[in-house]
Chain A
Amino acid sequence: MNNRFEAVVIGSSAGGIKALTAVLTALPKEFPLPIIIVQHLHPDSDSYLAQILGAKCELKVKQADEKETIAEGVIYIAPPNYHLLVEEDRSFSLSIEGSVNFARPSVDVLFETAIYAYRNKIIGIILTGANNDGHQGVKRIKQMGGYVIVQDPATAEADAMPRAAIAATKVDKILPLEQIGPYLLQLVNRSTKKTRYNEK
């Protein structure tokens, strides 16, 4: 477990389903990290997002269950109307505490707690959205020494969320939507290979 990165967290809102599809379909079945996603949805929307993405992605997609142990190479979606939190033992917990940034699930809640578990070995990604959820989370990731990628606001269906993230901290990369998936893959592969080489 000497890899530079051990988890990816993604926050998205308005226009997010299309954006998530673009990012996640670029990843092969061998992608080695867990990917944990908060997409703002209608509280009653149930598990359809996991189904939509599952049908299009090579990676396994599922809704995160309470107390579930996080596995590598799986995409987890926060259940609608619950906050999704990461415990230090790398399992999930859920909460119905009030909305944060008018959202439940909230991107900030996921990012802030994912840091407890993954420290600096985390990649945070902010995609399209019409609010500022996630800006605290990316700030915390950068404070901890993690990596942050933000969708270029010019390519976002709603640019408020990427703009808020960019304003909150010095992010590592601002990329047009179609480049995020390939870049993520390259970033993760590079860090994994380097470690393997050093071990030899």
Chain B
Amino acid sequence: MDDLETQNIELQLLLQAIYLKYGYDFRNYAKASIKRRVQHRMTKDGFESISAMQHKLLYDVSFFETLLLDMSINVTEMFRDPGFYFALRKFVVAELKKFPFLKIWHAGCATGEEVYSMAILLKEEGLYDRTQIYATDMNEIVLKQAKDGIFNISRLKQYTANYQKAGGQESFSDYYVAHYDHVVMDKSLKENILFSDHNLATDGVFGEMNLIMCRNVLIYFNRELQHRALGLFFDSLCTDGFLCLGSKESIRFSEYSDTFEDVVREEKIYRRIS
């Protein structure tokens, strides 16, 4: 047995320890990314091995929180992939207008940039007042940031460009107030958003949705966990409900392929048909 195999055993034990002690289940995440990030934390903090790190992890909650932030990727942006939001406006909004009341679930919303993007889009399309948005993430630290709706000003130029490419109808600056190095999103965008803790690896269905957004979350899961999450989305969607995945994710090649039709294939917008 070589060192790499021993490290795999250590990693498996570490993920088991995290699950048993803290309830976060990374055991069915795609391994390469988790392993790389665990190893980088190990090197950065001067541990000799993953096992040595496990000891600290079990007895030091703050160290666990650091590692949790390393392991859960919270990179996001406003109107990420503007073409997706443009397609949403063009091909999905008219369908959403047929529902008297809308429930939208953002699964794995991270720091919330895409939730606010959706709220803006719904406002401009006259749908916001009849919509309830559920924004969920497994990580309470990032969820709090999402709820606060305060973002660093450094990326605003890009967000404004994204907003325009996404078919934005107003001036993007109407939706925030700038304070020194950050911006505070307009309070009215938050009125119909419920931020809450939900883990796609361990939690279940909590309501019937008209649209589910889960973009760039499934790429971190192995096939088994992807299957679980897609099953959860299938069970949560009403018939004719929409599922939006990340640009490199797909429902095709999964067991749920036949239960969804393409709405905008290249933007990974699907609709439940059975």
Contacts and interface: CB of A to CB of B under 8 A. Distances in A.
Contacts of A87: 30-32
Contacts of B219: 66, 82, 93-96
Point out which of A65, A86, A96, A116 has the most chain B C-beta atoms below 10 A from its C-beta.
Answer: A96
Nearest to A112: B36
A129 B226 CA distance: 36
Interface in B217-233: 219-220, 223, 226
Contact of A93 (B33, B75, B250, B253): B33
A109 B248 contact: no
B73 A85 contact: no
Given A93-B219, A95-B220, A97-B73, A82 B33 contact: no
Given A94-B219, A96-B75, A119 B4 contact: yes
A153 interface: no
Interface size class of B (residues with CB under 8 A): 20 to 34
Interface in A96-123: 96-98, 109, 112-113, 115-117, 119
B249 interface: yes
B35 interface: yes
Contacts of B249: 66
A57 B73 CA distance: 36
Contacts of A83: 33
A73 interface: no
A94 B73 CA distance: 12
Nearest to A87: B32
Contact of A82 (B2, B30, B32, B248): B248
Contacts of A65: 248
Nearest to A65: B248
Interface residues of A, number: 23
B216 interface: yes
Interface in A45-72: 65-67
Nearest to B220: A95
Interface string B69-88: 00001010000000000000
A88 interface: yes
A118 to B, nearest CB: 11
B30 A93 contact: yes
B159 to A, nearest CB: 14
A79 interface: yes
Nearest to A144: B4
Interface of A: 65-67, 79, 82-83, 85-88, 93-98, 109, 112-113, 115-117, 119
Q: 9 smallest A-B Cβ distances: which pairs?
A: A85-B32, A113-B32, A93-B30, A97-B73, A94-B219, A87-B32, A95-B33, A96-B75, A96-B216
Interface of B: 2, 4, 8, 30-33, 35-37, 73, 75, 216, 219-220, 223, 226, 248-250, 253
Given A66-B248, A83-B33, A93-B30, 15 more contacts: A66-B250, A79-B248, A82-B219, A82-B248, A85-B33, A85-B36, A86-B32, A87-B32, A88-B31, A93-B33, A95-B73, A97-B73, A97-B75, A116-B4, A117-B32
8 contacts: A67-B223, A79-B248, A93-B219, A97-B73, A112-B36, A113-B33, A116-B32, A116-B35
